[in-house]
Structure 1
């Protein structure tokens, strides 16, 4: 695998979960640890607020603690999930370059797909609703 796969979930008991698996970046130093295994950087879940899985420039995501930042903006600033995601991706943008892309899900079952690239393979399903699947930004 050469790309990132992320997932967020909400079970019938109200538990949130997030997971991120990545193929990493080509040409990196042996032993490099990216953002995916760092809770708070590339992945985070808290039953009080939301679950987040990130993809993009790992070093950028680590420095900005993007996943935890989304949670903190929801919890401490009472932002809705969409606004928290947008702000977390913009924080430090002037100091830290790189793509910040993510999926987020809150305890009400609302999902946000945020990405700065032209495409991101994504999908979601809620209960018996029609499955949403998309690739391109405008979908």
Structure 2
């Protein structure tokens, strides 16, 4: 679409960080992510007491219910908790903590491997 900006470039939509709460990166249906300010909404839920996993998944589910489109996000709290959530059928994701890589693609799937030098 002519003149459209990506959700990732719009702070609060595709990406957002706050030193007092954490950071979020999203993926999915960009227009819905923009309309919902998804990354900001996830951090706001965490600021209001939800942990990274619960905040990430619950806010994405609310966006999907309201706008009928899917999204996913990886969130890290200021204390290092990680949240991974998505409403699409599957979403490839990964993150590294210390010497271990965590990854998955299906709902509820969490695989891990030690990093070898």
Q: What TM-score results when the alignment is normalised by the length of structure 1? A: 0.70
Instruction: Count matched residues.
Output: 109
Bigger mean CA offset, 85-94 vs 38-47: 85-94
Counterparts of 2:98 and 2:66, CA distance in 1: 41
The alignment status of 1:133 with 2:77, answered yes or no, reads no
Distance 1:102 1:92 in 2: 12
Q: Please point out which of 66, 82, 85 is paired with 1:95.
A: 66
Aligned positions of 1:14-25 closer than 5 A: none
Q: Flag the structure with higher helix content.
A: 2
Q: Which residue of 1 aligns with 2:49?
A: 78
Q: Where in structure 1 are there 5+ consecutive unaligned residues?
A: 1-28
2-side partners of 1:99 and 1:35: how far apart?
Answer: 14
Residue pair 2:27, 2:73 contacting (<8 A) in 1 also: yes
Aligned partner of 1:118 in structure 2 is 89
Kindly state the Cα deviation for residue 104 of structure 1 after the two structures are TM-superposed: 0.5
Deviations 1:45-91 (CA, angstroms, capped at 9, x unpaired): 1111111001011111111111001111111x222122211232133
SS in 1 for 2:72: strand
- 2:36 matches 1:30: no
Let me know the Cα RMSD of the aligned residues. 1.7
Partners in 1 of 2:41 and 2:27 — Cα distance? 15
TM-score, length of structure 2 as denominator length: 0.82
- The 2-side partners of 1:94 and 1:127 are apart by 36
Any stretches of 5+ residues in structure 2 without a counterpart?
Answer: 110-117
Please identify runs of 4+ aligned residues in structure 1 that moved more than 4 A: none
Residue in 2 that maps onto 1:41: 13
